[in-house]
Amino acid sequence: MSTDKYTSADRLHKILERLVGAYNINHDYSPKSAFELIFKISSDQETLFLHFIETINLVKLLKNMCTSFGGRMATAYAKDMDNIHKAVASLTLTSGRARLTKFVAILSDTNAMDGLEKLAAHIADTGLEREIDMQDLATIEEDLADLIGTVQNANLDTNFKNMLLAELNCLLVSVQEYEFFGSTPIQEALQRTTGKVILHAQQIEQTAESIDITKRVFSKMRDINTIVSFTAITQQALPIAGEVISRLMG
């Protein structure tokens, strides 16, 4: 598997491989315990559920992608994805260890993981997906951490400050988890942050420091915009948001 870039198939392979690894560590693990282990989540049940849903969405994405291939290749990949879908569909966050055992057995009996590796290579070779270089992600992560520190130390309206910290931390997490879930959560975090910053900026009394911080936030979002592949909505939203912020800031 690729070590410095990740297609959707690479990401799904990593998640499934780690779930199998959790089972091998402790056969008494439930699906919930395995997900908590691989994503390092101990108490945040909402985040755990979202990660579970994102895993299912990856399976659906790849199943749909396989239907676009032609000939025997499509048939082979579709069969592997059907088996993976069957394995993942056997899991719930409320079921016991028997479901995780069934999940592992399906993957083992069908050799679907080997097919997933071949699918990942095919996606990479044909350029079906745009991938983000790991060095670019590391730079974004470092810059976001610095920006969060700047916001924490700034003298801002309390509600505005808390909103910025919450949104920037969500954006940071989405970047850190790119290897699992790709760019979609990053896109969603950027869109959400854009709207919230504009809304809050209109509701507070602006100071020189709040203006500076707001401009820094949008500058960083534009930087990320040059790296991440965006939907048409996001491509339009960021420039428009920049114009709105410029008018608000004077």
Residue 116 falls inside a structural domain: yes
In a shared domain, residues 234 and 160 = yes
In a shared domain, residues 142 and 229 = yes
In a shared domain, residues 138 and 109 = no
For 20-43, the pLDDT digits (tens) are 999 999 999 999 999 999 998 877
Last residue of a domain, one of 126, 159, 182: 126
In a shared domain, residues 153 and 220 = yes
Residue 3 falls inside a structural domain: no
C-alpha 7/C-alpha 19 separation (Å) is 19
C-alpha 9/C-alpha 15 separation (Å) is 10
For 128-146, the pLDDT digits (tens) are 777 787 888 899 999 999 9
In a shared domain, residues 93 and 17 = yes
Residue 1 falls inside a structural domain: no
Last residue of a domain, one of 126, 145, 177: 126
Last residue of a domain, one of 97, 126, 155: 126
Specify the pLDDT at position 40: 87
Specify the pLDDT at position 187: 82
Specify the pLDDT at position 5: 54
67 is in which domain, residue-wise?
A: 8-126
| Angle in degrees, CA 106, 111, 115, rounded to 5 | 120
In a shared domain, residues 119 and 169 = no
C-alpha 247/C-alpha 87 separation (Å) is 53
Under-70 pLDDT residues of the chain: 1-5, 229-250
**Contacts of 225 by beta carbon, 8 Å cutoff, 6+ apart:** 190, 234, 235, 238
| Angle in degrees, CA 216, 182, 97, rounded to 5 | 125
Specify the pLDDT at position 70: 72
C-alpha 83/C-alpha 107 separation (Å) is 7
Specify the pLDDT at position 131: 75
Count up the domains in the chain and report the number: 2
User: Backbone dihedral region of 16: left (phi > 0), alpha (psi from -120 to 50 degrees) or beta?
Assistant: alpha
The HSE-up count of residue 237 (CA atoms within 13 Å, CB side) is: 20
User: Backbone dihedral region of 132: left (phi > 0), alpha (psi from -120 to 50 degrees) or beta?
Assistant: beta
In a shared domain, residues 197 and 179 = yes
Q: Which two tokens stand for residue 176?
A: 């850190």
In a shared domain, residues 12 and 86 = yes
Q: How far is CA 52 from CA 24, 31, 39, 45, 225, in A?
A: 20, 10, 10, 10, 27
In a shared domain, residues 73 and 112 = yes
